[in-house]
Amino acid sequence: MKQLLAMISVSTLVVFTSAHATSWQALPDKAPAPANNPTTAAKVELGKTLYFDPRISSTGTVSCNSCHNVMEGGDDSRPNSMGVNGQTGGRGAPTVWNAAFYSTQFWDGRANTLEDQAKGPMTNPIEMGMKNHDLVMQRVRSMDGYKTMFKTAFGDSKMTIDQAAMAIAAYERTLITPDSAYDRYVKGDKKALTSQQVKGMNLFAELGCTSCHSGPAFNGQAGVKLGTPVLMKFPTFTDNSYVKKYDLASDKGRENVTGKADDNNLFRTPTLRNIAVTAPYFHNGKVVTLDEAVKVMAKTQLNIDLNASQAKNLVAFLESLTGPFPQQTMPRLPVTSGKSVVVE
């Protein structure tokens, strides 16, 4: 147990007991919303439109959906996501599906809320490349169709970056996938899982995977105060071939945010929901298959060498965490008449 707890940053103020680690929980049917940003249909519609609009990037080519594709697994299937002018960063895009169940956002937990996260990529020079948020909103305000949408969603015509972020966050809180085979099983339908998946589920707990990947979202963040990073040391055990093969230790993780050496290689514990459809794996996207990913995790986090049968059983269980995706339709974006908002 000491080795398992060593994987979790002491800054999280979260302690997992053995009882907690084996408590199987279904995903809620509705994502929580903060008191200052209740979810409304008008906000969701506005947020969805902004989410799909590439014109809020400097080149007019990158939208939120470019890297977090809700028509698929909520990611972009790339090792490193591509932003404006073909630039790529050092990390893969985490899935947006079920992001509402995180206590912090980004791999290093640098954003406290979905609202905070929504603003970040817009002005990142590699991602959406806008010089500042004022220019983002200048473009949005220049498209007449958005004026009515903001007024309907917020009751005024201010059209601020905070309102835009609140709307995007409201849309993202609709992107949840309850009712997976696993959810039905823990709710009482004992036929929902195959015998192999049940074996994998039991093995998942026996090996200690639930020490970090606990709770309904399998991210260890259930009941954690919003804004509290739940971080995992990755890799924990470095004396193995996987660390060098997949370059797992070169990214300093949380240390890049805080500058503290103690935060080296600390990353937010990712959800395992829909993990079977969000390859490639880990922060740098170096591992291509789920079978390999579970072997890497077992060795680097638990110092356990899985045999082929164990890996297959774990993969089978993880596949049961894929839920039905809510139907998504592409929004009609506000048009600009006789002018371009991208080319000046």
**206 catalytically annotated:** no
Q: Which residues contact 292 (CB under 8 A, 6 or more apart)?
A: 281
Closest CA to 162 of 190, 133, 135, 187: 133
The active-site residue, picked from 45, 115, 127, 344, is: 127
For 278-310, give one letter per residue: b (16+ CB within 10 A) or e. Answer: bbbbbbbbbbeebebbbbbbbbbbbeeebeeeb
Segment (H or E) for 45: helix 41-52
Separation CA 205–CA 28 (nearest Å):
21
Closest CA to 269 of 224, 312, 229: 229
For 75-104, give one letter per residue: b (16+ CB within 10 A) or e. Answer: bbeebbbbbbeeeeeebbbbbbbbbbbbbb
Active-site positions read 127
